[in-house]
Amino acid sequence: MSQAFYIEQTPPAKRTDCHQSDPAAIIKQLYDSETFRLLAQVVVGRLSDHLEQVQSRNGKVMTARPPRLNLLDARAWLDAATAATPSDARTLADRAGTMIDDLLANSQRLHHPGYIGHQLAPPLPLAAVFELAAALVNQGMAIYELGPWTTAVEKAMVERLGEQLGFVPGSFSGLVTSGGTLANLTALIAARNKLLGDAWSQGLTGLETKPVVITHMESHYSIARAAGIIGLGAEQCLYVASDAAGRTDPQALADLLDDLKRRAVPVIAVVASAGATRTGSFDPLPAIADLCEHHGIWLHVDAAHGGAVSFSKAHRHLIEGIERADSVIWDAHKMLFVPTLSTYLFYKNPRNKYLAFSQDAPFLFVEDSDDAHEFDCGLATAECTKRAAALSLWAVMSLYGGSVYETLIDRICEITALFVAKLAAIEQVEMPVEPQFNIVLFRYVPERPDIDVDAYNKALRAFIVEDGSLYLTTTTYRGALYLRFVVMNPLSNETEVEALIEALTTFAARHDGDGDAAFAAERTGQSHLKV
């Protein structure tokens, strides 16, 4: 915030003066194409330098200050604004550059190869550039006419990704929506409306038997959340037992379905995971699909994270049978490396696209069916106004082809395998499930039996993150605390594998003999670290 804002006016004009002074000049400058070009040049320069630095492993993966400090600074920028026209584009651009510096200095650095944190991808820079174009043209997407090109692009991408999963070309439908939670919700509304004929118009009040949703033991919280939202009740989510590999046990599912049938409990849907959020496990879809077909129950597959393995000849067996699902979601902003939010929802039966929201908006959908109706996204998506969320993936796949994702996914799996092999070689390391893709849970179990293993691993995580060359998280699985990492960055390599092993060894050498008190000391100053 060291940039001087005014260079032509002394003293600065007052807030009220400005407004009355020259509105036309202010508006002209706001939309000026040359000012845009200069601003973009400065910001792109900052972002490009950032990419180069973090990819070279300069600096920590994360330097999160306590929230209050960032809040104070974010407010300070707002308070420093003055009301006069910033008549000098150069000054404006420099000031914008300094704001970008603050953003970059205080963000998680997903492009740092040491980022093995959450299921957030380091976006392909090319994809981010197309997001800029989408943001500037700001098409509406509810009906074709609001975004003729971006709507067509969405349709082309729905076709392409659906076929990639294995749906029969021309026989399915789909849409793009704002994130996995909204996509899971949309699919479950469709399934609810299908099972309970007048649920959309009449609601669920008055139903005598409470329906249920059956889901993977470690399914994403958006599934239970959807049950809470759609009037079913979050507690109407039944969780099926998993096997040792963290996959839904088909026999347990069969038993559950038989029991529900005996008790005449309606089942809205069975939700399978590919892969499950916490463990990355992929469900045995063929066996689950058999059961759903036998009972006539809607099968929904949450492939938000795992859909991308469809691009890899070596790994697509993990989602075998996915094309038998009634609905599938897939986040392009996860393992397809485009910026958030861009989620695809597919329906095996194309007409089911209209099941979720059976409604009209007269100001949008004026005329009766014609050729364009199937291009009117708003009939099938929760959103009315929507982002052109398919554009950046379309750009990547048009410039590089789908095979680029085979390259990326195979590399991610290769690095994950390296992590797993090195960890497995350490006797004290315990991995509760065998990693199938790129999510790994592990914990270090010190030899001394009186050490609190959860506290030890919490402290271990803090030690690793504090060092700054790696960023990973923790989670609770079957009652115990584990370190959890997700290999999201194709630039991660042996350096990160060695850094992790080195951190384990160093921490163990220091603490294997300690009591719990020492771990607490490690965590000083980390009160805002929670995962």
Q: Is 114 within 8 Å of 492 (Cβ atoms)?
A: yes
Q: State the minimum distance, in angstroms, from the CB of residue 150 to a second copy.
A: 7
Q: State the minimum distance, in angstroms, from the CB of residue 212 to a second copy.
A: 10
State residue 525 phi and psi, 5-degree precision: 80, 10
Q: Is 251 in the site for a second copy (CB under 8 A)?
A: no
Q: Is 129 within 8 Å of 135 (Cβ atoms)?
A: no
Q: State the minimum distance, in angstroms, from the CB of residue 38 to a second copy.
A: 9
| Coil/strand/helix, residue 428 | coil
Instruction: Name the residue nearer to a second copy (CB basis): 73 or 514.
Output: 73
Residues numbered 130 to 169 that lie near a second copy (CB under 8 A) are: 130-140, 143-153, 155-156, 159-160
Residue with tokens 């085979």, as numbered in its chain = 406
Q: Is 190 in the site for a second copy (CB under 8 A)?
A: no
Q: Is 96 in the site for a second copy (CB under 8 A)?
A: yes
Instruction: Name the residue nearer to a second copy (CB basis): 84 or 270.
Output: 84
Which residue in 58, 171, 251, 359 binds a second copy (CB under 8 A)?
A: 359
Which residue in 9, 87, 88, 108 binds a second copy (CB under 8 A)?
A: 108
Q: Is 366 in the site for a second copy (CB under 8 A)?
A: yes
Q: Is 227 in the site for a second copy (CB under 8 A)?
A: yes
| Coil/strand/helix, residue 85 | coil
Sheet bearing 473-477, strands edge to edge: 429-430, 439-444, 480-486, 473-477
Phi-psi region of 59 (alpha: psi -120 to 50; beta: other; left: phi over 0): left
Q: State the minimum distance, in angstroms, from the CB of residue 458 to a second copy.
A: 9
**Site mask for a second copy (CB under 8 A), range 111-130, x = bound:** x------xxxxxxxxxxxxx
**Site mask for a second copy (CB under 8 A), range 385-424, x = bound:** xxx---xx-xx-xxxxxxxx-xxx-xx-------------
How far is residue 423's CA from residue 441's CA, in Å, rounded to a whole number?
A: 11
Per-residue burial over 364-386, b if 16 or more Cβ lie within 10 Å, else e, is eeeeeeeeeebbbbbbbbbbeeb
Which residue in 87, 88, 207, 349 binds a second copy (CB under 8 A)?
A: 207
DSSP labels for 455-497? HHHHHHHHHHHHHSS-B-EEEEETTEEEEEEE---TT--HHHH
Bridge pairing between strands 173-177 and 343-347? antiparallel
Q: State the minimum distance, in angstroms, from the CB of residue 368 to a second copy.
A: 10
> Which segments of 82-147 does DSSP mark as H helices, in order?
89-105, 125-137
How many residues lie near a second copy (CB under 8 A)?
Answer: 191
Helices (H) and strands (E) in the chain, counts: 17, 11
Residues numbered 457 to 476 that lie near a second copy (CB under 8 A) are: 473-476
> Which one of the spans 200-208, 292-300, 346-354, 423-431 is the region binding a second copy (CB under 8 A)?
200-208
Residues numbered 20 to 39 that lie near a second copy (CB under 8 A) are: 23, 26-27, 30-37, 39
Q: Is 67 in the site for a second copy (CB under 8 A)?
A: yes
Which residue in 87, 349, 350, 375 binds a second copy (CB under 8 A)?
A: 375
Which residue in 371, 517, 524, 525 binds a second copy (CB under 8 A)?
A: 371
